[in-house]
Structure 1
């Protein structure tokens, strides 16, 4: 399956927040992301990612292990994704390190997530702030689809973003890992 996703900078967070709240109840969560790679950076060089994410919600904490393959669509950065819940965060970090991967970067994202249906698809919209990067807001809008539906799904995602007031010029493929690394220099 492919995570057909577009990400954009948000110029008017209050407007986008109100539009999303009209579609679904948002849930506030804080993500603690740790990205891993080999010492030789083979994953990064191959446009792949290995991440352990711990999500702190108002009522619970959960952890997921995620692998993202190389992009299948350069314009959007959409990638194949495999993700699974993890019962013990410390254990999965130990396993990943034991397999020879090392942490490359860790950071926090403050998110508000909205699950809703649009254009016949289940979609997840996430409003994101990364404290280390300053006051910037982003939106990620995604839907999970089979390989042969990526183009149609991205067209639907783009249309929903337009309904939220996001323009094509706001779209970005910038990665949070790069933004955080730049902010730390």
Structure 2
């Protein structure tokens, strides 16, 4: 599967929440605790990601292991993705570390998840994101597609959705949270 995704910086988070709430109802509020693993920087240099994420909502906590391949679309940063649930987060950390992978960065995201559709009817997860260590608010809109042949249409649908949300192309960013958090921490040190 490929995660077709666009990310934008949000100028007015309250207005965005109002528009998304009108379209999708009450969001699922969640805290994401992300730990990214690598071995000698090989994954990062190749544009790949290995992440353990624990998502905590009001009702439940679940942990997933995600591998993202290299970027397939430079303009958006969209990547192929494989993800699976983890029953025992401590065990997966031990397995990864036993294989020579080590966490190189971990951080928390505060998220509001809205399930909506594009004007063309494509199902989308729209997530309003705050990373406490970073300035500003982000919107991620993503949909899954089977292969690269579907990606252009999916990204076009996501762009149309963003325009409906009054978020223009100038707000789009391919900035990675991992790099932004690392830079913010380096600035503090």
Measured against the shorter chain, the TM-score band is over 0.9
What is the aligned partner in structure 2 of residue 168 from structure 1? 169
| CA–CA separation in structure 1 for the residues paired with 2:163 and 2:91 | 42
Q: For 2:133, what is the secondary structure of its paired residue?
A: helix
Q: Is 2:105 aligned against 1:105?
A: yes
What is the aligned partner in structure 2 of residue 132 from structure 1? 133
- What is the TM-score of this pair, normalised by structure 2? 0.95
| CA–CA separation in structure 2 for the residues paired with 1:93 and 1:23 | 39
What is the aligned partner in structure 1 of residue 185 from structure 2? 184
What is the aligned partner in structure 2 of residue 74 from structure 1? 74
| CA–CA separation in structure 1 for the residues paired with 2:122 and 2:99 | 37
Structure 1 unaligned regions, length at least 5: none
Structural mapping, 1:13-162, within 5 Å = 13-24=13-24, 25-38=26-39, 40-118=40-118, 119-134=120-135, 136-147=136-147, 148-162=149-163
**Between Structure 1 and Structure 2, how many residues are aligned?**
183
| CA–CA separation in structure 2 for the residues paired with 1:67 and 1:12 | 32
Q: For 2:73, what is the secondary structure of its paired residue?
A: coil
Q: For 1:69, what is the secondary structure of its paired residue?
A: strand
| CA–CA separation in structure 2 for the residues paired with 1:18 and 1:92 | 39
| CA–CA separation in structure 2 for the residues paired with 1:90 and 1:114 | 30
| CA–CA separation in structure 2 for the residues paired with 1:112 and 1:98 | 34
Deviation readout 1:41-79 (Å, 9 max, x if unpaired): 110010000000001100110000000000110000000
Structure 2 unaligned regions, length at least 5: none
| CA–CA separation in structure 2 for the residues paired with 1:123 and 1:63 | 21
What is the aligned partner in structure 2 of residue 11 from structure 1? 11
- What is the TM-score of this pair, normalised by structure 1? 0.97
